[in-house]
Amino acid sequence: MGNSQNISGLWSLSPTTRMLALCLCLLACSTGAIAASPNRQVLIRDITSVEGVRDNMLVGYGLVAGLNRTGDSQQTYFTVQTLANAMQRMGVLIAPGTVEVKNVAAVFITASLPPFARPGARLDVTVSSVGDAKSLVGGVLLMSALHGPDGQVYAEAQGPLVMGGYTVGNSTNGKEVNSTTVGVVSNGGIVERDTSVDLHNFKSVSLLLRNPDFTTAKEIADAVNENFHKSVASALDSTRVDVSVSDTGVSSVPDLISRVQNLALDVHTPAKIVVNERSGTIVLGGDVKLTPVSVIHGNLSIQVVTSYDVAAVPLNGAGNDEKGKARRDDRLQPVLVPQTNLSVNDGPAQTMRLDEGANVEELVSGLHAIGASARDVVAILQAIKAEGGLQAELEVQ
């Protein structure tokens, strides 16, 4: 019976307040579950990466041909110049100033070169327009070189584009779905240079934590030492754990990395609240606790309403009578006169009290009781954090 009364009371609220209450209740339930089990078992591979084993960014410049008159205009001079250079390399000389081709577009090509990539390996490349092309649908990327940060060519890319959107109609009556100036060439890149890392030269394997934490770094080192039954790992700081290759007695570094990465340990979720003020989204992690705090929520609203009343205004114009003599026109005409009304509603302040050790569920119930909106919740959390009553990290996006 009590639950039915709560549900009926919830649906009696406004849609905005009802949605906020439902979201906060879900957050409270999830946080209560976290509080009951603050730790979770994860593999070391899921929370760390190996230093020196990473992707590398590649970028290139090229042309997309075969467009249906949706390419760059003649005003995009670098496209015409690139086309003239490409034609010259093929033995055809053209004057860039006289070229008008709408089936070609200049593009940037980006790709990610994975670790241990060997010559001949395939890559997915992303193609993005850099001119004023309307669409790249139906285009083919011409062979283009992809450069690394050092300026060396590490891959070549070519192939037909796969688009995630389309455009129909014209500029006055049309429809566009997703972007039509960015596409993907699946397996369109081929690695030309060996970038693999020689793991046999590693004297130690450094594990880098994705979320820095001293406790987690120490527990990773303890888990590795327990597995090898001796001290082979040490936590240098909150982000790095070093494992000595020679002390482990494992001859193969890949075998050592595999063995270490598949070890499981408990991870402590930090107490953190992430608030997106634009969307009103609140995400809570860890066992968020509150110290004794009182919240007073005011309810001040100012409303300005403009209405229009009909008033009679004399014409005060001149005219002629039947005999042609001038006479004054004293007739009245109706006009709309704006009337501005200002109303201020300063409702009584709502008060809530949180005792020592209160959790998010109690905070949610209290905010729901005083009718706080999404923006009010953000401001209240910031104020509680500034006062010192929120024992968690508050991040506002």
**Per-residue pLDDT tens digits for 96-127:** 777 777 899 999 999 999 988 899 999 999 99
Identify the band that residue 271 occupies on the pLDDT scale cut at 50, 70 and 90.
Answer: confident
Q: What is the pLDDT of residues 3-16, one digit of tens each?
A: 444 444 444 445 44
Give percent of the chain with pLDDT exceeding 70.
66
Cα–Cα distance for residue pair 83/101, rounded to 1 Å: 9
pTM of the full structure = 0.63
Cα–Cα distance for residue pair 280/282, rounded to 1 Å: 7
Of residues 195 and 48, more confidence is placed in: 48
* pLDDT reported for residue 91: 86
* Mean pLDDT of the region 297-304: 54
Q: What is the pLDDT of residues 207-223, one digit of tens each?
A: 999 988 899 999 999 99
* pLDDT reported for residue 76: 80
What are the tokens at 74? 């003649």
* pLDDT reported for residue 182: 92
Whole-number mean pLDDT of the chain?
77
Residue 261 has pLDDT above 90, yes or no: yes
Of residues 41 and 308, more confidence is placed in: 41
Question: Measuring CA to CA, which residue among 193, 197, 200, 199 is closest to residue 118?
Answer: 193
Helix (H) or strand (E) holding 45: helix 44-47
Identify the band that residue 164 occupies on the pLDDT scale cut at 50, 70 and 90.
Answer: confident
* pLDDT reported for residue 326: 54
Identify the band that residue 197 occupies on the pLDDT scale cut at 50, 70 and 90.
Answer: confident
Residue 50 has pLDDT above 70, yes or no: yes
* pLDDT reported for residue 81: 85
CATH of domain 41-51+198-268: 3.90.1150
Task: Locate the domains of the chain by residue range.
Answer: 8-36+274-316+329-396, 41-51+198-268, 56-191
Asked whether 247 and 225 are in contact (CB, 8 A), the reply is no
Asked whether 345 and 317 are in contact (CB, 8 A), the reply is no
* Mean pLDDT of the region 297-319: 61
Residue type, 223: A
The SS3 call for residue 61 is: strand
Identify the band that residue 270 occupies on the pLDDT scale cut at 50, 70 and 90.
Answer: confident
* pLDDT reported for residue 157: 96
Cα–Cα distance for residue pair 112/99, rounded to 1 Å: 35
* Mean pLDDT of the region 27-36: 44
Count of residues making up the chain: 397
Around Cβ 64, how many Cβ atoms within 10 Å?
A: 28
Q: How far is CA 76 from the centre of its chain?
A: 32
* pLDDT reported for residue 186: 92
Cα–Cα distance for residue pair 67/316, rounded to 1 Å: 68
Say how many Å lie between the first and final Cα of the chain, rounded.
Answer: 41
